[in-house]
Amino acid sequence: MERQNHTFVREFILLGLSRDPEIQIILFVVFLIIYISIIIGNTLILTAIKVVPQLHTPMYFFLSNLSFLDMCYSTMTVPKMLENLLSDKKTISFAGCAAQMYLSLSMGETECILLAIMAYDRYVAICYPLRYMTIMNKHVCLRLATGTWICGFILSILHVAFTLQVPLCGNNQINHFECEVPAVLRLACVDVSLIGIIIFVVGILILMIPISLILVSYVRIIISILQISSAKGRYKAFSTCGSHIMVVVLFYGTAMYIYMKPQSNDTQDTDKIVTVAYTVITPMMNPIIYTLRNKEVKGALKKTIQIIYAKKH
């Protein structure tokens, strides 16, 4: 009887954001536009950083990593969501679900660490301006970026391993638009409280350690900025950090809501909306935030567009 109850699930049904066909068409158009804007916006930033020599600095090296990461992050989720919005059979194989879960988590955890590295970069730039290029030299930046990606992909193994070993007893309807850990765990037919505690602890390590480093960096940054006598100098120093702070608040606020709160069936619809915020809206907003608040990026993007236009004509 136990074997019969613990049926192996070969595929999942993703219930998505809405079951209304008309709303699904609207959502398809909206998310298609958003996804196209994510790819175009982040590609332009990557191209601008590559072709404009003035942007060959540690700050923009890490920004290029963030842009590439955002494109990959959204690609793990949005294309499958778009497919399901137009399909009657909204299924994903067990292997596909596991892969999506692992890759999405890896990208998300990589971004957590990368945002902390970017805060450290701003700390060195503002607190040690004369030694900035020595401390954040090319080899250090490359090692930090490589270590960030490796850590993100290794840490996510814990979440996925604990989630996939839970018996589901044949229940395969995920009330979500993607295979996310909390949504899959709700399908379990056994007590998953211990796994929930483990995931919570891992979430604390993955989210709270980087955000603690960010807070410490910005406390030191604020202290240094307040010691600048020139109002213009203080404004310039604050402006270089403003974009990063906005991205941190948007990404960490939504991620912490999903992974660091008690799981409840009553909040599933809210969870889906919040997940949209950090998997879709954040990758779309990052290029806009950095462009609107950064004159160097604006100028570089103009040059890049002019170069692309000139090559076509």
Instruction: Look up the pTM and report it.
Output: 0.86
- Rounded Cα–Cα distance for residues 226 and 201 (Å): 36
Structural domain span for residue 119 = 9-312
| pLDDT tens string 168-187 | 776 788 888 899 888 888 88
- Does position 4 have pLDDT exceeding 60, yes or no? no
For residue 23, give the CATH number of its domain.
1.20.1070.10
pLDDT score for 293: 62
- The average confidence (pLDDT) of the chain is 83
The number of folded domains in the chain is 1
Instruction: Flag whether 114 is in a domain.
Output: yes
Instruction: Flag whether 241 is in a domain.
Output: yes
Instruction: Flag whether 4 is in a domain.
Output: no
Cβ partners under 8 Å of residue 142, min gap 6: none
Instruction: Flag whether 88 is in a domain.
Output: yes
Q: Chain centroid to CA 47: how far?
A: 20
Instruction: Flag whether 3 is in a domain.
Output: no
Q: What DSSP string runs through 54-72?
A: GG-SHHHHHHHHHHHHHHH
Cβ partners under 8 Å of residue 242, min gap 6: 293
Cβ partners under 8 Å of residue 305, min gap 6: 44
Residue 223: CB atoms within 10 Å: 11
